[in-house]
């Protein structure tokens, strides 16, 4: 396969050519030929179309800086193949691998880690290494086997691991890895430490989902916090709470807080990142009875919700429960305009007003855009 990359460096956006290391065959950055202004305008226009009933409440997009538009992807999931006697990491195009070790959107830590592993992984064409996942300083080699392979090669990590920026490297034995890369069993720490801390001091592990632009993510939390304005005596329900980055904010303001998350690893980290919060593991819909018990001491006027669901949006049971529970205000961070429209339509019919929509460009150079929706119960009147 011929891999086309530019021979010289280029701009962050547009201007007719790609930055160094960017393959013209890669389909990930579908806005790379647009200027930053053109990309942001297209994203805001897309949201105005998809969220047309509330277009008058759509605020300006909070965008990434020029510097943030490259080298920001510190969380990757890549296919792995052995090609011409060398381990390569990238995306599949049909049955062929497009190597992306030098992708300029990857963080320098990801690029250094891939270079290290390409150099020290064993020269074994039978090693069933299929996927590579990296979340910040924690990385995972995913092997489609139940049998632990030879691990003598890991001695090379003692020399290059720290320089790469890695703090923990894992081997995950997962014979059925595919659309789902992670299972619960057979995790082996090959080198380093089990957990790391991000730039804000929050603990995370190898499976962590992290927003890629911390500055913009903090801005979104700032806006949600200013809107919810939790205080002593309030009860805050934080659904799909992940590692607990948002939990700590509500706790600092004196509110009682409960978080719900499906991932066991995320729950462990949330207990460290949000000490004092009640935590419930499982699907949010299955935890409604416990959430009702948590809310029972709090008057309906003191109930607040922060939700950050996956692309599928709110579970139907959760969407029906939110109005029934009587939350005064809801802050909803969405990564899918389609499911956000569906859920806001339902909530509006159930007695909520959509007050403001704030887009955030968490994924520059791509078509993806996130949106924070701020909703208030019609009973919440001065």
- Which residue out of 241, 284, 335, 371 is catalytically annotated? 335
Q: How far is residue 362's CA from residue 335's CA, in Å, rounded to a whole number?
A: 10
308 carries a ligand binding annotation = yes
217 carries a ligand binding annotation = no
Q: Which two tokens stand for residue 107?
A: 């963080």
Q: What is the DSSP letter of 310?
A: -
132-159 burial, b for 16+ CB within 10 Å, e for fewer? bbbbbbbbbbbbebeeebeeebbebbee
Q: Which two tokens stand for residue 222?
A: 């700032």
Strands 303-307 and 329-334: parallel
Helix H or strand E segment including 306:
strand 303-307
243 carries a ligand binding annotation = no
3 state SS of 378: coil
Question: Is 335 noted as a catalytic residue in this protein?
Answer: yes
Half-sphere exposure of 262 (CA within 13 A, CB side): 13
Query: From the CA atom positions of the chain, what is the Rg in Å?
Result: 22
211 carries a ligand binding annotation = yes
What DSSP string describes 64-124? PPTGGGSS-B-EEEEEEEEETTEEEEEEEETTEEEE-TT-TTB-HHHHHHHHHHHHHS-S-
Half-sphere exposure of 182 (CA within 13 A, CB side): 18
Summarize the annotated binding site for S-adenosyl-L-methionine as residue ranges. 211, 240, 261, 308
Positions at the binding site: 211, 240, 261, 308
**Which residues are designated catalytic?**
335
């Amino acid at each position: 396969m011929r891999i086309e990359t530019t021979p010289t460096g280029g701009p962050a956006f547009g201007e007719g050519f790609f930055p160094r290391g960017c393959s013209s065959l890669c389909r990930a950055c579908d806005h790379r030929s647009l200027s930053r202004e053109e990309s942001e305008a297209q994203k805001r226009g897309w949201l105005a179309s998809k969220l047309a009933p509330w277009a008058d409440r759509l605020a300006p997009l909070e965008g990434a800086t020029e510097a943030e538009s490259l080298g920001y992807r510190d969380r990757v999931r890549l296919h792995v193949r052995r090609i011409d006697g060398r381990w390569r990491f990238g995306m599949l195009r049909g049955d062929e691998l497009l190597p992306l070790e030098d992708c300029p959107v990857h963080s320098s830590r990801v690029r250094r880690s891939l270079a290290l592993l390409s150099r020290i992984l064993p020269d074994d064409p039978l090693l069933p290494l299929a996927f590579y996942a990296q979340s910040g300083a924690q990385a995972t080699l995913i092997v489609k086997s139940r049998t632990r392979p030879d691990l003598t090669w890991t001695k090379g990590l003692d020399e290059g691991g720290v320089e790469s920026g890695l703090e923990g490297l894992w081997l995950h034995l997962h014979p059925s890895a595919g659309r789902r890369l992670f299972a619960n069993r057979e995790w082996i720490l090959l080198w380093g430490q089990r957990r790391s801390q991000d730039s804000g001091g929050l603990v995370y592990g190898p499976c962590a989902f992290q927003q890629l632009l911390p500055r913009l993510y903090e801005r979104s939390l700032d806006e949600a916090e200013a809107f919810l304005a939790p205080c002593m005596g309030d009860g805050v329900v934080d659904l799909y709470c992940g590692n607990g980055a948002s939990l700590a904010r509500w706790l600092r303001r004196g509110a009682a807080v409960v978080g719900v998350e499906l991932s066991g690893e995320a729950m462990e980290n949330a207990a460290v990142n949000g000490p004092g919060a009640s935590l419930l593991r499982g699907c949010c819909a299955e935890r409604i009875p416990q959430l009702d018990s948590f809310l029972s001491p709090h008057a309906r006027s003191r109930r607040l919700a922060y939700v950050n669901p996956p692309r599928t949006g709110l579970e139907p049971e959760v969407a029906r429960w939110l109005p029934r529970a009587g939350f005064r205000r809801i802050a909803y961070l969405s990564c899918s305009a389609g499911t956000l429209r569906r859920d806001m339509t339902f909530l509006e019919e159930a007695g909520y007003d959509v007050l403001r929509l704030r887009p955030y460009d968490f994924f520059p150079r791509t078509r993806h855009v996130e949106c924070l929706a701020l909703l208030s119960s019609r009973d919440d009147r001065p």
